[in-house]
């Protein structure tokens, strides 16, 4: 999903917490974390305050467009997995939430928020349309690439699975079932397997899998 983040002119968060354990991200001496385009930020989930009655507290904060644009000098568009959401504080009319991880996609210079809060997805039930055999093939392929330090994109996984289908399945009726595998199906599968994505705002197929 997409959200917004208001940051200072130096791209660091407006406030910081030196007690929060940062897994991924660059932190200054005041505990503020950098939000440059392409940064993947992650903190220990247990360090994110799960009490919604506390407004200003520990954790990575993502807000609505109206909230973020009035909070900092620069507004960033960020992407986060709903499973990384920890709490929605009750202050500020519920316009922000605390998460343990997000990726900074771009500096958002538009005057209005985007229409769709779900990034790169049209309409589906959140589960991939890929059967167990292809799921295992995808997981093996991704792990092999990630462990070797190779870059693996949605396009790479999609092409690999289509090669498997073409090699193993000769029945036209069965093959036709997999000709409709989309980039969004692959992204669903990646998240289901426990991996993360560094999404490419220009081409969803060029989004990169991260461990």
- Cα–Cα distance measured from residue 146 to residue 150, given in angstroms and rounded to the nearest whole number: 6
Lowest-confidence segment of 37-41, 99-103, 133-137 by average pLDDT: 133-137
Structural domain containing residue 24: 2-107
Q: For residue range 148-164, list pLDDT tens digits in order.
A: 888 889 889 888 888 77
Q: How much is the mean pLDDT over the chain?
A: 80
Per-residue pLDDT at 5 exceeds 90: yes
Same domain membership, residue 150 and residue 92? no
Structural domain includes residue 116:
no
Distances (CA, A) of 168 to 162, 163, 183: 10, 8, 21
Same domain membership, residue 202 and residue 160? yes
Lowest-confidence segment of 24-33, 75-84, 164-173, 195-204 by average pLDDT: 164-173
Q: Is residue 11 a contact partner of residue 74, using CB atoms and an 8 Å limit?
A: yes
- The per-residue DSSP string of 109-139 comes to --SS--S-SSTT--S--SS----HHHHHHHH
Q: HSE on the CB side for 117, CA within 13 Å? A: 9
Per-residue pLDDT at 175 exceeds 50: no
Q: Which helix (H) or strand (E) holds 87?
A: strand 85-87
Same domain membership, residue 173 and residue 82? no
Same domain membership, residue 69 and residue 164? no
Q: Is residue 61 a contact partner of residue 112, using CB atoms and an 8 Å limit?
A: no
Portion of the chain with pLDDT greater than 90, in percent:
29
- What was the pLDDT predicted at 102? 94
Portion of the chain with pLDDT greater than 70, in percent:
83
Domain count, the chain: 2
Same domain membership, residue 18 and residue 86? yes
Q: Residue 173 sits in a domain of what CATH number?
A: 1.10.10
Structural domain includes residue 8:
yes
DSSP 48: S
Same domain membership, residue 141 and residue 103? no
Structural domain includes residue 72:
yes
Same domain membership, residue 172 and residue 89? no
Structural domain includes residue 180:
yes
- What was the pLDDT predicted at 143? 86
- What was the pLDDT predicted at 118? 47
Six-digit token string for 76: 């960033």
Structural domain includes residue 127:
no
Structural domain includes residue 164:
yes
Q: What is the C-alpha radius of gyration for the chain, rounded to an integer number of angstroms?
A: 19
In this structure, how many other beta carbons lie within 10 angstroms of the beta carbon of residue 189? 23
Q: For residue range 138-151, list pLDDT tens digits in order.
A: 888 888 888 788 88
Q: For residue range 20-76, list pLDDT tens digits in order.
A: 999 999 999 999 999 998 899 999 999 999 988 887 888 999 988 888 887 888 999
């Amino acid at each position: 999903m997409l959200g917004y983040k208001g940051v200072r002119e130096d791209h660091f968060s407006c406030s910081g917490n030196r007690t929060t354990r940062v897994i991924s991200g660059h932190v200054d001496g005041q505990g503020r974390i950098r939000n440059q385009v392409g940064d993947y930020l992650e903190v220990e989930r247990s360090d994110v305050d799960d009490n919604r009655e506390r407004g200003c507290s520990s954790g990575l904060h993502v807000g609505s467009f109206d909230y973020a644009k009035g909070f900092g000098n620069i507004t960033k568009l960020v992407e986060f997995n709903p499973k990384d959401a920890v709490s929605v504080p009750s202050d500020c009319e519920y316009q922000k939430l605390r998460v343990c991880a997000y990726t900074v996609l771009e500096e958002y210079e538009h005057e209005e928020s985007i229409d769709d809060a779900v990034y790169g997805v049209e309409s589906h039930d959140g589960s991939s349309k890929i059967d167990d055999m292809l799921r295992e093939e995808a997981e093996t392929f991704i792990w092999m690439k990630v462990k070797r330090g190779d870059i693996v994109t949605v396009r790479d996984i999609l092409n690999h699975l289509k090669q498997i289908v073409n090699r193993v399945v000769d029945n036209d009726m069965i093959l036709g079932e997999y000709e409709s595998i989309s980039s969004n199906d692959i992204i669903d599968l990646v998240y289901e397997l426990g991996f993360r994505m560094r999404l490419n705002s220009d081409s969803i197929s060029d989004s990169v899998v991260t461990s």
